[in-house]
Amino acid sequence: MAVEDTGYVQVASLSELEDEGRQVVSSGGRPIALFHHEGEVYAVDNRCPHMGFPLTRGTVEDGILTCHWHHARFELAEGDTFDLFADDVQTFPTEIDNGEVYLDPDPEPDVPPATRFRNRLADGLEEDISLVMAKSIIGLDEEGEGFYTPLETAVNFGTRYRAMGWGRGLTTLGCMANLYDHVGGRDKRRAMFTGVREVADDSAGEPPRFQQYAFDNRNLSKERLKSWFRDTCEVRDADGAERCLLTAIDTLPPEDVAEIVFSAATDHRYMNAGHTLDFINTAFETAQHLGWEEHADAALASTVAQITDATRSEELSSWRQPVDIAGLCADANDRLSDLVAAGEGKEWERPERFVETLLADDAEAIIDALTEAIRAGATTEQLADAVARAATRRVLWFATNNEFTDWNTVHHTFTYANAVHRASEKTDATELYRACFDGAMSVYLDRFLNSPRAPVPDPDETDRTPADVREDLLAAFDEQGNTNRAAALVSEHFDADGDPDDLKRTLGRGLLREDADFHTLQSLTAAIERFEAVGEKSEQRTALMAAARYMAAHFPTRRAAEQTFSIATRLHRGERLHEVE
């Protein structure tokens, strides 16, 4: 059979290739590099898989092709790279017939593209190489696997290669998964790139984590496992607690597991400045994104250290003096059974000024308002929602005459309160009332950060289009200190009757182009979750104005990650970075 009949195409003269040593040929518009080396003919994609530099401008020696731009090296025959930052280069089988060089322009891939991109994402996570992760995220999205596969790959990595388990990186990943449906087009890719990048960074240099095993006894009741889990957490026995939790995951429905975990997470006050409950809630939601049966064990087991190693706020002077708010919470917790029993069968409606009471400067009055609400039939979901409304206002009203780091203080309260509300959707456990007390006391402690309250725009009329307002909002994020302007523009977008989904996408665009820190990434996710949870337009406006103020306080940044993402996008399109500035 003639070479032409095999699908191979003629591309060069062997004698000319021998004389020149290398040539660039084209097949189907794709530049291919031919090399004559040690008596053999080799063909590879002429674009270096790292950043697209022409490989014919490189060096071939001892069977190794070296790119001269970043010195990536490739085994010439099969294209395997010596340097993981570069990826393998595509090779093309060659044949010689009658002094002519033929090649197969479309060889069968060794693995499907989606598998290759998933494997490269794992390489990027292991080596903490941002460009590899960005290119993998883009490739997976092109293959229709832009959400689940990156999320699963990063969760598997983060829960296995960080001894402390679930932390900042995996929480960021979970936040980006929750944000995913609220951002547009390419920002979905940016969201997943942000999440996996943070997992890699948080795990870099850390020892691995070794997961425990469930007990063999599958007949343990929820009550027994709950008691054991709380007892082991109380004495900071992480291994014992993990075995109890894994057994619960294996034998109980998700709502019972949620009851067990959130009960232990509220046995002490506002643990780890609210991070403990927030991280656990995000782990639950990430497991739900991926599939409870397959991923709940690894995700939730990795959160145990967030309870056993946590700082307990009743141990902090701020929770003891000058007002013993930890004691107030403890007293309210002791009365919970009676309060819940008294509210049985009753329906509670939030009084008109209930949120304002939670924002007052009388800790005892706040606890009294909460306990009376429970006595009147308030559910954990209703009470958590009220506390979250108060916490949202602390962010919106934050006074910029405070230290910059104080933004974190109101932020912690806000994300904690939001997490409590979302946890109340996963379990109706009585213990979540304790989290409402803790959140309300954190709101109380933050009151001085609203002195004076930042000015908040009132609803008004505008003759501008929503699109113009959104454009100005992004411009406001380009300059430091535009906190009040950002809030005013969000408010104006509501005044202009703009589509809230467009506004959320614009806020997402503003967030994901920045090198946003952990708290800033959390802030918009939580604000959009609050937007979705409340029904009143005024409350939705409040949530997004609060997010815009927080974001504006932290922008702009260097946008180094955006540059990496842009490079990966341009490479994916086939642009020549070495020629175009």
Is the per-residue pLDDT at 484 higher than 90? yes
Q: Burial-class residue 425 by CB neighbours within 10 Å (0-12, 13-18, 19+).
A: middle
Q: Measured between alpha carbons, how far is 491 from 538 in angstroms, rounded to an integer?
A: 10
Average pLDDT over residues 340-364: 97
Per-residue DSSP letter, 47: B
Contacts for 59 with CB less than 8 Å, ≥ 6 apart:
65, 66, 68
Q: Burial-class residue 254 by CB neighbours within 10 Å (0-12, 13-18, 19+).
A: middle
The residue to which tokens 């944000």 are assigned: 179
Q: Are 398 and 549 in contact (CB under 8 A)?
A: yes
φ/ψ of residue 9, rounded to 5:
-125, 145
Tell me the torsion sign for CA atoms 415, 417, 418, 422.
positive
Question: pLDDT confidence of 576, banded at 50, 70, 90?
Answer: confident
Measure Cα distances from 306 to 226, 236, 241, 281, 422 in Å.
Answer: 17, 10, 12, 12, 18
Q: Which two tokens stand for residue 287?
A: 């497991």
In this prediction the pTM is 0.94
Q: Measured between alpha carbons, how far is 172 from 184 in angstroms, rounded to an integer?
A: 18
Q: How does pLDDT run across 488-541, given as a tens digit for each residue?
A: 999 999 999 999 999 999 999 999 999 999 999 999 999 999 999 999 999 999
Fold of 466-561: Zinc Finger, Delta Prime; domain 3 (1.20.272)
> CA nearest 531: which of 523, 283, 520?
523
Residue-level pLDDT at 581:
47
Residue-level pLDDT at 580:
53
For the chain, the helix, strand and coil percentages under 3-state DSSP, each to the nearest 5: 60, 10, 35
Is the per-residue pLDDT at 201 higher than 80? yes
Give the CATH class of 9-103. Answer: mainly beta
Is the per-residue pLDDT at 398 higher than 50? yes
Q: How does pLDDT run across 111-122, given as a tens digit for each residue?
A: 999 999 999 999
Q: How does pLDDT run across 538-570, given as a tens digit for each residue?
A: 999 999 999 999 999 999 999 999 999 999 999
Q: For the sheet containing 73-75, what is the strand order?
A: 59-61, 64-66, 73-75
Q: Which two tokens stand for residue 75?
A: 């085994």
The pLDDT mean for the chain works out to 96
